[in-house]
């Protein structure tokens, strides 16, 4: 299985930031509201994600490190869906096949924690008792140590860490209720307390998008039927290189969705100078049955069932809001 896992890893694990993404998504799935991320040497030496989520029971530790995607694929009829779900249930197995991974976890019911790691060609999982509060820590050491061709593709520590920091920003803007910590080489880089009130949320946006963005951004909110858009946008006149900040989310998931981006650009189109970029943090919320989130494996793209309607709603909501901002 090591080889099969390494092949799967080719799809999931492009660089350290992709590992962080998979680990943090698991933490969020486990209901964590505190996530610590420690990075060393841009993630090539160490990636550690610690959460206070539900934890994993001892009997399931082996399963967590094994590929179990095939069982999920059995009930799918659509070939495209199979491709896009290709690595579902195999992120940990994949990461573990191209690094030295240890998983330490404890559920609230357990009195002790357990640690698991898989090694060798057969990816034999070894389990031993450990100390850990309720929740899970996953440590990924020496990413790509056994796949030199991939390791060679890693950029400088600074660049790789930049990708991780950018990812953490995007995640932190998607979950205000979670507190986050990020360190690099032992230095604290981000420390975000859970943001509950509107004021605290605004403060988080200011911290993550910079003072220039915070100064010029206006809060907007609009609804059409059960489709809702809210967030912060900057008036075209105030858009500049310094306050570049472009984040959009669909039902809480970070997206680089073509339709959404197109709608945002269209709303700004007439008013922006060619060298200006729109600046926004926007959340689109709609009935989850109206959107497929697994169009792309990296889960950045979605497919709206009523694409035209969503597009036009976003254009008109933003055009409205922008016209009120522009004196
Ligand atoms: P997937 O998330 O697609 O199920 P993964 O390989 O990412 O596959 O994770 C495998 C399984 O391990 C998860 O389904 C979950 O049960 C468990 N798991 C992984 N990380 C955590 C975590 N931080 N907290 C609790 N359970 C976890
Ligand atoms: Mg996962």
Residue 80 pLDDT: 38
195-235 tens-digit pLDDT: 999 999 999 999 999 888 988 899 999 999 999 999 999 98
- The rounded Å distance from CA 61 to ligand 2 centre is 14
Residue 10 pLDDT: 67
Query: Does this complex have an ipTM over 0.85?
Result: yes
Residue 98 pLDDT: 92
Residue 81 pLDDT: 41
Binding-site residues, ligand 1, Cβ < 6 A: 22, 26-27, 30, 51, 53-56, 64, 88-92, 136
Question: Can you give the residue ranges of every domain in the chain?
Answer: 2-192, 198-325
Residue nearest to atom 13 of ligand 1 (CA): 64
Q: Residue 137 CA: which ligand is closest?
A: 1
- The rounded Å distance from CA 107 to ligand 1 centre is 13
Atom of ligand 1 nearest to the CA of 93: 6
Residue nearest to atom 3 of ligand 1 (CA): 89
- The rounded Å distance from CA 102 to ligand 1 centre is 13
Residue 313 pLDDT: 97
pLDDT mean for each 10 residues of the chain (327 residues): 70 88 93 98 98 95 76 42 48 92 96 90 88 97 92 95 96 96 98 95 93 90 96 86 84 84 90 85 93 68 90 96 81
Q: Residue 91 CA: which ligand is closest?
A: 1
**What's the rounded Cα separation, in Å, for the pair 73 and 82?**
6
- The rounded Å distance from CA 260 to ligand 2 centre is 25
User: What residues does 47 pair with on adjacent strands?
Assistant: 39, 140
For domain 2-192, the CATH architecture is 2-Layer Sandwich (3.30)
108-164 tens-digit pLDDT: 999 999 999 988 777 888 999 999 999 999 999 999 999 988 899 999 999 999 999
Q: Tell me which residue of 114, 72, 122, 115 sits closest to 97, measured CA to CA.
A: 122
- The rounded Å distance from CA 63 to ligand 1 centre is 9
- The rounded Å distance from CA 88 to ligand 2 centre is 7
What residues are neighbours of ligand 2 (ion), with CB under 5 Å? 26, 91
What CATH number does domain 198-325 carry, 3.40.50.1100, 3.30.230.10, 3.30.499.10, 1.10.3470.10?
3.30.230.10
Residue nearest to atom 4 of ligand 1 (CA): 89
Residues whose CB is less than 8 angstroms from the CB of residue 180 and which lie 6 or more positions away in sequence, other chains included: 35, 36, 37, 168, 171, 172, 190, 191, 192
């Amino acid at each position: 299985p090591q080889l099969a896992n390494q092949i799967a890893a080719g799809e999931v694990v492009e660089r350290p930031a992709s590992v962080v993404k998979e680990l943090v998504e698991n933490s969020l799935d486990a209901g964590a509201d505190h996530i610590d991320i420690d990075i060393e040497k841009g993630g090539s030496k160490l990636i550690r994600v610690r959460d206070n989520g539900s934890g994993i029971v001892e009997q399931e530790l082996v399963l967590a490190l094994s590929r179990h995607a095939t069982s999920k694929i059995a009930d799918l009829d659509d070939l495209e869906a199979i491709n896009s779900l290709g690595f579902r249930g195999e992120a940990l197995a994949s990461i573990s096949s191209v690094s030295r991974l240890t998983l330490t976890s404890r559920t609230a019911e357990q009195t002790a924690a357990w640690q698991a790691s898989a090694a060798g060609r057969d990816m034999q999982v070894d389990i031993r008792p450990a100390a850990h509060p309720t929740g899970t820590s996953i440590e990924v050491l020496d990413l790509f140590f056994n796949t030199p061709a991939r390791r060679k593709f890693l950029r400088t520590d600074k660049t790789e860490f930049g990708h991780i920091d950018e990812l953490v920003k995007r995640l932190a803007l998607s979950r205000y209720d979670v507190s986050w910590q990020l360190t690099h080489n032992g230095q604290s880089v981000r420390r975000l307390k859970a943001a509950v009130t509107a004021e605290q949320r605004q403060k988080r946006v200011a911290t993550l998008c910079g003072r220039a963005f915070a100064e010029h951004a206006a809060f907007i909110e609009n609804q059409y039927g059960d489709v809702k858009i809210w967030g912060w946008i900057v008036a075209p006149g105030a858009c500049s290189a310094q306050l570049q900040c472009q984040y959009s989310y669909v039902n809480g998931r970070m997206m680089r969705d073509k339709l959404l981006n197109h709608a945002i650009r269209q709303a700004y189109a007439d008013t922006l100078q060619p060298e200006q970029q729109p600046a926004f943090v926007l959340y689109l919320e709609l009935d989850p049955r109206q959107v497929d989130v697994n169009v792309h494996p990296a889960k950045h793209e979605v497919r709206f069932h009523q694409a035209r309607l969503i597009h036009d709603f976003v254009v008109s909501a933003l055009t409205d809001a922008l016209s009120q901002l522009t004196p």
